[in-house]
């Protein structure tokens, strides 16, 4: 089991879904080849949240290859996909891991016919062996803030060589706003953002600067780049998600801050959790989505 257990991914999934920039997949669609199966590589797929959001919007024939280092998450992905398909009114065929149908509110999108395959793959160690041949789209969600500058530059350069588009969703950008506000909020989030730079297996992590660096690296490799805000807007009723975030931020801030600040951060956590419990806390967490399409030769 890695750092991202299935419960956490399930908890964040509704906020992720609401946050994603709706127009980027629409801008991407006309850039994709017509009449062929679109082969999609999903990096750090977890339990399939990116597939569940993107596949119905893109529509048509798709073959997803979902990569993750965590075997437990990969094992759960087909069941999560079946549950998502049922909730969305789509058909799931377990024998060949295929989702078909059309979402009722997307009647103009070509009928979805999407297969999925999973592979255990350590992206940090094996970037040079990324199975990118014949891939028509490289995508990821909530991954890039974990990676290093060197890793990201390597990914972009590999993708540019085969002129494959990139759609990278939900990269944390360092902005957090709380309601009600507390005087320690800024200090805590600054400490959290420093903590984000710690090595997550890929070398020193880009954290909040990942999306900006990707935009620059992709443009330098001849990509046309579009960036959108995709902020989590966490509702008062989403108490469990808020509490998990506050506890995680408090832990990270205490690891970064001098010991003399620990009491103040623990107090911050207690006040925040009490506000969540009373149902009067809302949180906005800044994220970005990025689409990069190779410019025509």
Ligand X SMILES: C[S@@+](CC[C@H](N)C(=O)[O-])C[C@H]1O[C@@H](n2cnc3c(N)ncnc32)[C@H](O)[C@@H]1O
Residue 291 CB coordination number (10 Å): 25
With CB under 6 A as the contact rule, which of the stretches 67-75, 87-95, 171-179, 187-195 interacts with ligand X? 67-75
Comparing C-alpha atoms, which of 132, 140, 189, 190 is closest to residue 164? 132
- For residues 288 and 227, the answer to whether their CB atoms sit within 8 Å is yes
R_g of the chain, CA atoms, integer Å: 20
Residue 50 contacts ligand X per CB under 6 A: yes
Options 38-46, 183-191, 235-243, 252-260: segment touching ligand X (CB under 6 A): 38-46
Segment contacting ligand X (CB under 6 A): 42-50, 242-250, 252-260, 264-272?
42-50
Give the one residue of 15, 49, 118, 144 binding ligand X; rule: CB under 6 A.
Answer: 49
Q: How far is CA 220 from CA 95, 153, 156, 157, 169, in A?
A: 43, 10, 10, 10, 20
Asked if residues 37 and 79 have their Cβ atoms less than 8 Å apart, the reply is: no
Nearer to ligand X, 146 or 234 (CB): 146
| Region 107-126 residues binding ligand X, contact defined as CB under 6 A | 122-124
Shortest approach of ligand X to residue 202 CB, angstroms?
6
Q: Chain-centre distance of CA 229, in angstroms?
A: 13
| Min CB(44)–ligand X separation in Å | 3
Residues 257 and 195: their CA atoms lie apart, in Å, by 10
CA-to-CA distance for 235 and 233, rounded, in angstroms? 6
154 versus 201: smaller Cβ distance to ligand X: 201
44 contacts ligand X (rule: CB under 6 A)? yes
* Closer Cβ to ligand X, 125 or 229, answer by number: 125
Does residue 10 touch ligand X according to CB under 6 A? no
List 11, 32, 69, 182, residue binding ligand X (CB under 6 A): 69
Options 141, 171, 196, 209; binder of ligand X; rule CB under 6 A: 141
CB-based contacts of 37, cutoff 8 Å, min separation 6: 61, 62, 63
When the beta carbons of 2 and 279 are compared against ligand X, the nearer one is 2
Does 132 engage in binding with ligand X (CB under 6 A)?
A: no
- Closest CB to ligand X among residues 240, 277: 240
Q: Does 45 bind ligand X (CB under 6 A)?
A: yes
Tell which one of 25, 28, 38, 70 touches ligand X (CB under 6 A).
Answer: 70
Q: Cβ closer to ligand X: 121 or 268?
A: 121
Provide the β-strand partners of residue 139. Answer: 42, 167
Secondary structure (DSSP) of 165-227:
-EEEEEEEEEEEEEES--TTHHHHHHHHHHHTTS-SSSSS--GGGHHHHHHHHHHHTTEEEEE
Q: Is the peptide bond before 172 cis (omega within 30 degrees of 0)?
A: no
Binding range to ligand X, per CB under 6 A, among 31-39, 44-52, 56-64, 104-112: 44-52
Q: Is 4 in the site for ligand X (CB under 6 A)?
A: yes
CA angle 88, 93, 99 (to 5 degrees): 45
The gap from C-alpha 255 to its chain's centroid, in whole angstroms, comes to: 25
207 binds ligand X (CB under 6 A): no
Residue 201 is a binding residue for ligand X (CB under 6 A): yes
Would you tell me which residues interact with ligand X (CB under 6 A)? 2, 4, 9, 44-46, 49-50, 68-70, 73, 122-124, 141-143, 146, 201
């Amino acid at each position: 089991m890695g750092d991202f257990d299935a419960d956490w991914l399930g908890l964040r999934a509704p906020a992720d879904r609401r946050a994603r920039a709706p127009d980027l997949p629409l801008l991407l669609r006309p850039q994709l080849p017509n009449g062929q199966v679109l082969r999609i590589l999903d990096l750090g797929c977890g339990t399939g949240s990116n597939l569940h959001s993107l596949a119905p919007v893109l529509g048509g024939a798709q073959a997803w290859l979902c990569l993750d280092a965590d075997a437990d998450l990969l094992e759960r992905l087909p069941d999560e996909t079946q549950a998502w398909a049922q909730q969305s009114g789509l058909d799931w065929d377990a024998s060949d891991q295929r989702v078909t149908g059309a979402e009722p509110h997307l009647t103009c999108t070509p009928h979805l016919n999407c297969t999925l395959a999973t592979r255990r793959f350590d992206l940090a160690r094996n970037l040079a062996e990324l199975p990118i041949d014949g891939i028509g789209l490289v995508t990821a969600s909530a991954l890039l803030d974990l990676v290093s500058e060197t890793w990201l530059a390597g990914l972009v350069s590999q993708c540019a060589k085969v002129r494959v588009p990139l759609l990278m969703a939900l990269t944390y950008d360092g902005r957090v706003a709380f309601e009600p506000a507390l005087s320690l909020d800024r200090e805590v989030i600054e400490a959290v953002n420093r903590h984000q730079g710690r090595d997550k297996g890929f070398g020193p992590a880009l954290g909040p600067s990942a999306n900006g660096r990707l935009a620059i690296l992709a443009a330098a490799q001849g990509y046309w780049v579009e960036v959108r805000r995709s902020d989590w807007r966490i509702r008062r009723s989403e108490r469990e998600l808020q509490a998990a975030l506050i506890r995680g931020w408090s832990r990270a801030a205490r690891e970064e801050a001098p010991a003399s600040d620990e009491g103040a951060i623990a107090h911050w956590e207690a006040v925040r959790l009490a506000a969540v419990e009373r149902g009067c806390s809302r949180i906005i967490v800044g994220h970005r989505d990025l689409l990069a399409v190779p410019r025509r030769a």
